[in-house]
Structure 1
Amino acid sequence: MAVPGQNANAAGYRNMHQLIQLRWIAVVGQLSTIAVVSMGFGVQLPVPAMLQLLACLIAFNIFSLLRWKEQHYVDNRQLFLALLVDVFSLTMQLYLSGGMTNPFVFLYLLQVILAAVLLQPWSSWTIVVITGACVAALALFAKPLPLPLDHGRGMSSLYIQGILISFVVNAALLLVFITRINRNLRAGDAQLAGLHQRAAEEEHIVRMGLLASGAAHELGTPLATLAVILGDWRRMPEFARNPELLAELGEMQAQLKRCKTIVSGILMSAGEARGESSAKTTIKVFLDQLVAEWRASRPIVAFEYDNHIERDVPVVSDSTLKQMIWNVLDNAFEASPHWQRLEARREGDALVLLITDGGPGFAPGMLDQFGTPYQSTKGRPGGGLGLFLVVNVARTLGGRVSARNRAEGGASVRLDLPLASIALQPEETSHAA
């Protein structure tokens, strides 16, 4: 399961790629500006030195692209260093092209705003101090551009035109990249909120499992006592001579046996005595037996079962998986006692189970909160836990559960389970043999 730190790193990784894209735009922009200013306007610039600096920036960006393609761990320090490289590159280009008289000196604001959005507070303030020091150094040491002081000409002034271009570039880059970065941060926050919700749900499951396990242990003794009493009754002459009473006793013993099976299943699902009834089988046989047991223990009217699995997979029969599928079938049975359908097929490396019923379907609010505990239309306390457990068991196995209402009426629940999570591994196969 992912953790909050990993989500932050995922957002940092995406933001690092935003900086790499921004650096490519800076390279193209600087090349274009050097060409237009030196050849179009005849301004004397140290073009060789500026091109060498651009070559270093291109090499750094290629290195960054290759590095972050293989490594996805990006933290605050690495983003801070990447922004420092951009600040240093901008400072050197401005130093070579007029310092404070270069209209593109306002691009420092882009670096400061990016730092405020991407970095932790101490790093952002460090960028502010460094950019301030760079501006002061340019004012002290850089030679001004040999441009005429023609500010009074308005838009005809070359310097005013440069200021306008600098403003438009700054505004456009900020709009595009801040929007993308905010989208990354919102996605990270949403994923973090989802993890908190999942952790709360898993804690809820643990508590329910402990409660169910304790109840199962407590039920074991009275069930065993009832089994002994019913066995004694069958041998008593009063019952032995009465066929009707014997039939009733047989039904009671069958139901008692089913109760003991349910209790054993609860204990196995809680991780106790799991090895006692685990057996090597195949997914096709496992589903056939699961359906046969479910049909035998319910007053089924009409049930369709289509097993389209052709390439079988060895598995270990698991009570948790069985109970998960039974929960969905039971919900379908309660919603539509007259008809249910189960279709099983294999799609690539996944097992797909489609459970369909002819009932009233899910309410729109139920579909929006499918799998949330205590969301049920049955009107009884504790309703909705069955589907809640189904969703979380599937999630534990690496699968997913989805639901929809059918156009012709009724509902359909789909379970997608990766076969790798339930398949019998080669080592287990050798042990089982």
Structure 2
Amino acid sequence: MKGWLSTGARLLPGQWPADAAGRKNMALLAQLRWIAIAGQVATILFVHWAMGIRLPVAAMLLVASIAAAVNIATFATLRRRTDVARAELFLALVFDVLLLTTQLYLSGGATNPFIALYLLQVALGAVLLDRWSIWGIVLLSLLCAAMLSLVYRPLDLTDALEGRLFDLHILGTWICLAMIAVLLVLFMSRMTRNLQAREAYLAQLRQQAAEEEHIVRMGLLASGAAHELGTPLSQLAVVLGDWRHMPEITAHPSLLEEVGEMQTAVQRCKQILTGILISSGEARGEAPKVTPIRDFLLEIAQSWRSTNPGIPLRCDFGPHDYPRIIADPVIRQAITNLLDNAREAGATYIDLLVGRDSTSLNIAVRDNGKGFSEQMLADFGKPYRSSKGKQGSGLGLFLVVNVVRKLGGNVSASNGADGGALVLLRLPLSTVGLEESR
């Protein structure tokens, strides 16, 4: 466990970089272009030297070289880019259409069976581009195909091939259709996966925005409730203070003890309300303090033990040096929520495990309770997902996940091999740490 807490391994699925689908699709287009270049060169050399059809080899190889140079520049650009706009994908497809048109012009125009490759460009545009750009590729392809039926360089056939032109056209058509089918299956499926991953990432962002809006509403309600409860609690504290000095109470030690317990409970309630107000930024003069991590977590553990004396809570900090941190009350509340959840899950003991690596502070709460169900693990961090079966339950873990996410960290949950649950918080030291220990 100590080694796991100290590693920098990713604990959550990698998130899709913002709008990275365009970059991946441009890379796929460039890969497709390499296949096209290789196919063009092989076809040109085979047709010219093996079949005896005299082609302008120098001009056609020059066109292929230009395409290769553009491809090299594309890959070099993609290494420095995080995204590619649809307009750039449109220009890339326009370039491919013009490249194909040039090669067809030099090799028989519309009589060349490979003119059907325009359909591949249209299909790619239908997946990658918006509506108007797709029709742009369609119109450009139709215009180029129509032009090739009027203006082109005729094939220079030998006398032996003149009578076999139709057979050659049928064979070329079959090869072209086979190429289109294979390339569509290979590349369209990969592009579709890229777009699906992008949509999943955007859906995750929308879900996160909805959760944050939910948290804001909850914060406003909690802040309002804290203000409203403050007055009656203060009045109750005054009344209990008066009771402690009444002869009727002081004459009965058992009553005096019960009044003391009531005062402790009232004071605890006031501390909780103060924590709510601090977290919402409404309490003045009580800004988060700077403290060593060990002291901060031991204070949380001691406070939790005082209200839950029947459950052992062990702290293990491992053989690490820790920097000082800004003791934000929201971190305290997140850890307290995890401890409370472990208690409510039927745990008879709880471990608070602390570790670190070069970039993050790792805090885990492990218990021997009933653990998480498969459904709970799948819905971990979503509001109102709970195994307690009570109305309004399930907000504790939801708040923990969102608090840690706001700090730039993440939360993961799992079940232990021997039972119980483990929830791990990874907090970036760049956010919560004040300075590195020397």
- Whether TM-score is above 0.5 comes out as yes
2:59 to 25, 49, 59: 49
Question: For the Cα contact (< 8 Å) 1:400–1:416, is it kept in 2?
Answer: yes
> Residue type of the partner of 1:379?
G
Aligned mates of 1:72, 1:132 — CA distance in 2: 33
Q: Unpaired segments of 5 or more residues in structure 2?
A: 1-16
Structure with the bigger RCO (C-alpha within 8 Å, sep 6+) is: 2
1:255 to 260, 265, 275: 265
1:350 aligns with 2:357: no
Aligned mates of 1:231, 1:97 — CA distance in 2: 102
> Residue type of the partner of 1:391?
V
Aligned mates of 2:250, 2:286 — CA distance in 1: 35
Aligned mates of 2:34, 2:339 — CA distance in 1: 56
Aligned mates of 1:47, 1:365 — CA distance in 2: 64
1:132 aligns with 2:142: yes
> Residue type of the partner of 1:146?
D
State the partner residue of 1:208. 218
What CA deviation, in whole Å up to 9, does each residue of 1:262-292 have, x standing for no partner?
Answer: 0011111222227515211122221122111
Question: For the Cα contact (< 8 Å) 1:309–1:344, is it kept in 2?
Answer: no
Aligned mates of 1:273, 1:61 — CA distance in 2: 60
1:114 aligns with 2:148: no
1:395 aligns with 2:405: yes
Aligned mates of 1:191, 1:150 — CA distance in 2: 58
> Secondary structure of 2:291's partner?
strand
Instruction: Write out aligned runs for 1:116-265 (5 A).
Output: 116-147=126-157, 148-150=161-163, 157-265=167-275
> Residue type of the partner of 2:415?
N
1:78 aligns with 2:88: yes
Aligned mates of 2:168, 2:270 — CA distance in 1: 91
Q: Which moved more, 1:92-101 or 1:157-166?
A: 157-166
Question: For the Cα contact (< 8 Å) 2:317–2:355, is it kept in 1?
Answer: yes
1:318 aligns with 2:365: no
Question: For the Cα contact (< 8 Å) 1:280–1:316, is it kept in 2?
Answer: yes
2:391 to 381, 389, 398: 381
> Residue type of the partner of 1:282?
P
Aligned mates of 2:125, 2:187 — CA distance in 1: 12
Aligned mates of 2:295, 2:163 — CA distance in 1: 89
What CA deviation, in whole Å up to 9, does each residue of 1:186-209 have, x standing for no partner?
Answer: 111111222222221111111111
Structure-2 change in CA distance of 1:188 and 1:332 (3 Å): same
Aligned mates of 2:264, 2:52 — CA distance in 1: 100
> Secondary structure of 2:315's partner?
strand
> Residue type of the partner of 2:349?
W
Aligned mates of 1:119, 1:301 — CA distance in 2: 60
What CA deviation, in whole Å up to 9, does each residue of 1:377-425 have, x standing for no partner?
Answer: 2121111111111111121122222222223222222222222221126
Aligned mates of 1:129, 1:388 — CA distance in 2: 52
Structure-2 change in CA distance of 1:223 and 1:382 (3 Å): same
State the partner residue of 2:108. 98
Aligned mates of 2:194, 2:162 — CA distance in 1: 44
Number of aligned residues: 419
Aligned mates of 1:274, 1:164 — CA distance in 2: 79
Aligned mates of 1:175, 1:343 — CA distance in 2: 50
1:39 aligns with 2:46: no
Pairwise CA distance, 1:72: 2.4
Pairwise CA distance, 1:118: 0.8
Pairwise CA distance, 1:312: 0.9
1:62 aligns with 2:88: no
Question: For the Cα contact (< 8 Å) 1:309–1:346, is it kept in 2?
Answer: no
Give the TM-score, by structure 1 length: 0.92
1:25 aligns with 2:35: yes
Question: For the Cα contact (< 8 Å) 2:56–2:106, is it kept in 1?
Answer: yes
Pairwise CA distance, 1:149: 4.7
Pairwise CA distance, 1:241: 4.0
Question: For the Cα contact (< 8 Å) 1:112–1:127, is it kept in 2?
Answer: yes
Aligned mates of 2:95, 2:353 — CA distance in 1: 58
> Secondary structure of 2:183's partner?
helix
Give the TM-score, by structure 2 length: 0.91
> Residue type of the partner of 1:70?
R
> Residue type of the partner of 2:134?
S
Q: Unpaired segments of 5 or more residues in structure 1?
A: 1-5
Pairwise CA distance, 1:239: 3.0
Which structure has more helix as a fraction of its residues?
A: 1
How big is the alpha-carbon RMSD for the aligned residues of Structure 1 and Structure 2? 2.1
Aligned mates of 2:425, 2:189 — CA distance in 1: 37
Aligned mates of 2:260, 2:324 — CA distance in 1: 36
Question: For the Cα contact (< 8 Å) 1:151–1:160, is it kept in 2?
Answer: no
State the partner residue of 1:416. 426
